[in-house]
Amino acid sequence: MSESTLPGALVTNAENDVMDVLGADVAVPQPQRFKEGVKIVLRFLVVFGIAMVLWELVKFIGGSPWRFSTADGALFNLEWFPPFEWKIASDLNMPHLWDIFGALIQPAQRNGPPLVNVLAQAAVVTMTAALAGFLIGTAVGLFLGTVFAHSALLERSLVPYVVASQTIPILAIAPMVVVWLRAGWWSVALLAAYLCFFPVTINTLRGLRSPDPRAIELMNSYAASTWATLWKVRYPSALPYIFTALKIAATTAVVGAIIGELPSGIREGLGGAIMNFNQYYAITPHKLWAVIIFTAVVGILFFITVTLVERVMTRNMRKLEG
Amino acid sequence: MSVVTIQAVNKIFGKAPNQTVALQDIQLEIEQGEFISLIGPSGCGKSTLLRIIGDLITPTNGTVLVNGKPAEKARLDRDYGIVFQAPVLFDWRSVEKNVQLPLEIMGKSSQERVARANQMLELVELNGFQKHYPYQLSGGMQQRVSIARALSFHPQLLLMDEPFGALDEITRERLNAELLNIWSHTKTTIVFVTHSIPEAVFLSTRVVVMSARPGRITQVIPIDLAQPRGMETREQPRFYELVTQVREALRGSEGIK
């Protein structure tokens, strides 16, 4: 097998490690896999903790003056004036972490539910559209990739348009979709799908062409149908490529859904929340930061879901002669 | 009856003026139950000839009949099993599932698939490895799985393209002996491509010597070593005589160009 035809040749090192863990699960007993999972979570938390400390450290050295006091300053009144004054570290650009997390538990509007509840609802709205978009985009991508893999003519004549579709900003497409489908859940999902299908198409095409040519000869010698070759050799060989694309598509779908909400005029999702808090950034920047945390969490959730599905589906995949 | 009849086969790659004549005027008859080795310098078209017999590529002109049928018909009738130099196992399938693959495609019942896979793994001495995955096996074991897979549907003709070329000498000699054993059990006709002279002599009933550029058959040497052959066959004087004869034929074939 030449290097370029190995399944997973496109897969980065980090993902190879994941693959190794998967392949090993034939031999590795369950408890060790659990320990592995705990390790991954711990590693994430440590890095997250370091990032938080660094954030505050920057503010400590070059941020706006720190003030801790009771409302009237009677009980205690602590102040710290950082030695430098960096604009990027000001309270406007980098709010204190306690302000950001504090914003989550305070009411979003006077006498309303806390921001975290409002954002959780918004996240559900956005996630539903993103999930629908992801599924549609994946289906379209798999279909196009499969068609292109089997027809050089269609590949040569249509792939340029697929590429061109990705150079058009989604904001230019959005009005058409919104007018066509009416502003709503479906238009958002479709815009997310529009961003998703591209990586899936390209990687599916590449993955379906990845098997060893001799594997295809072997299938020919069994007089296997194109269909049988597709299901028994090409799709399994393409899985590492497809999952790489799905991970890209999963995060893209979330971004696509958020952007799609803007021209659709949907206020209930995270896109609406971003628009809303954008307007008040000068007064309450920490609220926008709270939304940023929420969108990141949604993206990570999507990504993790795809990774878990990949783990299950590529359980026994390992490079030969590796 | 001949299993394979090759008449006036030519194969030209590329278009003028950059043509390569891979095979020129190939004539060959292979009888039922024979073990034929194709040997020659690299570029002599031995693998090309094997692929033509298996209808994986088509000759530029000439006819190839397998069991009296055109090669394509024979392929569609699943008359061939093929083994390549690399095992080409599917790493997401367990050993037994790899062996069962051709049977799945041929629509055999799962009972029959399991039974045949077990039978074949027994034959290649890999019983007990059914649930293993390819990456857990050594190169020699992987190649044995590949042979079991090729034999699983009882093809009448086994085409082998340097199947042991990537293995070390010790493993290779052991697998040679095993292959002869399989051959005598299954009565399968085998066409075997190799560039190892002792391997060709040890295994074959006839050795077909080819020359390069253009690829053609220069000599067909019958191997009259007694059957069944074993490790001691390699130590017989007759074995050395035949090895020398093949070697000289190969040298002679190089002289032609």
Question: For the residues of A68-133, what is the DSSP string, one character each?
Answer: EE-TTSSS-EEEE--SS--GGGSTTTS--HHHHHHHHHSBSSTTS-BHHHHHHHHHHHHHHHHHHH
Structure tokens at A268: 């209930």
Position B16 in a domain = yes
Structure tokens at B172: 């290779």
- Name which of B210, B207, B248, B209 is nearest B225 in CA terms: B207
Q: What is the pLDDT of residues B118-156, one digit of tens each?
A: 999 988 889 999 999 998 899 889 999 999 999 999 999
Q: How far is B129 from B175, CA to CA, in rounded Å?
A: 17
Q: What is the pLDDT of residues A180-239, one digit of tens each?
A: 887 788 889 999 999 999 999 999 999 999 999 999 999 999 999 999 999 999 999 999
Which residue range forms the structural domain that includes residue B37? 2-79+155-256
Q: Which residues of A271-306 are buried (b: 16+ CB within 10 A; e: fewer)?
A: bbbbbbbeeeeeeebbbbbbbeebbeebbeebbeeb
Structure tokens at B104: 């799945």
Q: How far is A301 from A54, CA to CA, in rounded Å?
A: 25
Q: Residue range A232-254: average pLDDT?
A: 94
Which residue range forms the structural domain that includes residue A24? 10-94
Residue of A nearest to B81 (CA): A221
Count of domains observed in chain B: 1
Contact criterion met (CB < 8 Å) for A218 and B94: no
CATH number at residue A262: 1.10.3720.10
Position B62 in a domain = yes
What letter represents residue B195's amino acid? H
Q: Is B154 helix (H, G, I), strand (E, B) or coil?
A: coil
Position A196 in a domain = yes
Q: Do residue A192 and residue A308 come from a single domain?
A: yes
Question: From residue B140, how far is each of A221, B158, B167 by CA, in Å?
Answer: 23, 18, 7
- With a cut of 0.90, is the ipTM above it? no
Q: Is the pLDDT of residue A132 over 80?
A: yes
Say which residue the tokens 């018909």 belong to: B73
- Name which of B44, B53, B49 is nearest B189 in CA terms: B53
Q: What is the DSSP letter of B61?
A: E
Whether B76 and A222 have beta carbons less than 8 Å apart is answered as no
Position B102 in a domain = no
Q: Which pLDDT does position B51 carry in this prediction? A: 93
Choose the mutation target among A219, A234, A320 for the interface with B, i.e. most B CBs under 10 Å. Answer: A320
Say which residue the tokens 């999963």 belong to: A250
Position B92 in a domain = no
Weakest-pLDDT range from A102-106, A144-148, A204-208, B189-193: A102-106
Position B47 in a domain = yes
Choose the mutation target among B90, B129, B160, B193 for the interface with A, i.e. most A CBs under 10 Å. Answer: B90
Residue of A nearest to B134 (CA): A320
Q: Provide residues of B within 8 Å CB-CB of chain A.
A: 51, 54-56, 75-78, 80-82, 84, 86-94, 101-102, 104-106, 133-136, 139, 142, 153
Position A107 in a domain = no
Q: How far is A112 from A119, CA to CA, in rounded Å?
A: 13
Cis check: omega of the bond before A213, within 30 degrees of 0: no
Q: Do residue A80 and residue A134 come from a single domain?
A: no
Q: Residue range B176-184: average pLDDT?
A: 90
Q: Do residue A71 and residue A133 come from a single domain?
A: no
- Report the half-sphere exposure of B154 (CA within 13 A, side-chain side): 8
Percent of chain A with pLDDT over 70: 86
Compute the count of residue pairs across chains A and B with CB atoms less than 8 Å apart: 74
**Which chain A residues are within 8 Å of B142, Cβ to Cβ?**
320-321
Q: How far is A43 from A275, CA to CA, in rounded Å?
A: 34
Q: Residue range B47-72: average pLDDT?
A: 92
Confidence label for B254 from pLDDT (cuts 50, 70 and 90): low
Position B229 in a domain = yes
Contact criterion met (CB < 8 Å) for A316 and B139: no
Helices of type H across chain A: 13-24, 30-62, 97-105, 115-150, 152-167, 170-181, 185-208, 213-221, 226-229, 235-264, 270-279, 285-313
Residue of A nearest to B76 (CA): A223
Q: Provide residues of A within 8 Å CB-CB of chain B.
A: 1, 7, 23, 26, 212, 214-215, 217-224, 228, 232-233, 236, 239, 314, 316-322
Q: What is the pLDDT of residues B154-175, one digit of tens each?
A: 999 999 999 998 888 888 888 8
φ, ψ of residue B65 in degrees (nearest 5): -110, 135
- Report the half-sphere exposure of A90 (CA within 13 A, side-chain side): 9
Count of domains observed in chain A: 2
Position B123 in a domain = no
- Report the half-sphere exposure of A69 (CA within 13 A, side-chain side): 11
B141 min Cα distance to partner chain A (Å): 12
Whether B158 and B188 have beta carbons less than 8 Å apart is answered as yes
Position A101 in a domain = no
Q: Is the pLDDT of residue A7 over 60?
A: no
B91: nearest CB among A223, A224, A319: A319
CATH number at residue B193: 3.40.50.300
Position B240 in a domain = yes
Whether B13 and B19 have beta carbons less than 8 Å apart is answered as yes
Confidence label for A108 from pLDDT (cuts 50, 70 and 90): confident
